[in-house]
Structure 1
Amino acid sequence: MKTVDISIQNISKVEGHADLDVKVVNGKVEKVKLALTDNKRFFTEAIRGQTIDSLPQAVARICGTCSIAHTMCCIEAIERALGVKVSEQAMALKKLTMYGMMIRDHALHVYLFSLPDVFGKDSVLNFDKKESKYLFDSLEIKRAGNKL
């Protein structure tokens, strides 16, 4: 029986910090463990006891990249807790906001995290002048997502 243990610490190119452990026995994956290793930031404790109208702004600070997602989730939780019926127009605006965030975030992920691998670089900071064109493309796509 051949066993291979794979352990990757501090996985790069993910938002946050993570470790990955994989156990392979006779060519079959037996166990996979993904550990999120970010330090606790105690947002739950920070917002406990706060007024309901202050919560969306507070949770927007959880993550700079996906502040919209945290805000929208908080607003939906408040609406459900209070039994608020959301109009079709409000729901459409919320969806557009989330779609814009997805466009923005996916563009940044592809260009900033994945594209360096395509060019065999560690970072976009190592791009030459020709490759840097893609950074400007990513910012244009990000801008489109923000405008949506």
Structure 2
Amino acid sequence: MTPTIDAKQFCSLTGYTDPFHRRIAKEGWFPEPIRGKYQAVAAITGMFKYLRQRTDDPIKKKNGELKNDILQHALAVKRRDYIKSTDVQRDLTRAIVAFRTRILTIPDAQAPRLALTNDPHEIKEVLRTEIIDALKDLARHNYATEEPDPAPAKP
């Protein structure tokens, strides 16, 4: 005869309720109780297996996710999906310097023409046209293909 354990004793031993035990017994972790009694060895062994599996799964899942992330990163590096931050910084600096230089040339280039007019609308239109032209010029330029400057000039 197999030793049995009363449902109440099993609950006090595990700290779980009888409905919980019955649910995991139905899931197949250990035999279901007969008249409120569990097969002691099978129930306790099954409970240990259930608890071990439950605590291992999140760790295994997280570990798998991390390994997947590492593989995805390595693949992206091999495909050259990433751009080095130094390259981005260099190209952005070139674009900003070009933008600043182009915008700062507008007053010098247009001052003689604007000095001849007193009409604010004409002044506004000339400046707007020059700024739009400057922005279009800057948009057409590819800053990534330029050779690196030895050192940007400081104003």
Please state which band the TM-score falls in when normalised by the shorter chain: under 0.3
TM-score, L = length of structure 1: 0.25
Higher helix share: 2
Higher strand share: 1
TM-score, L = length of structure 2: 0.24
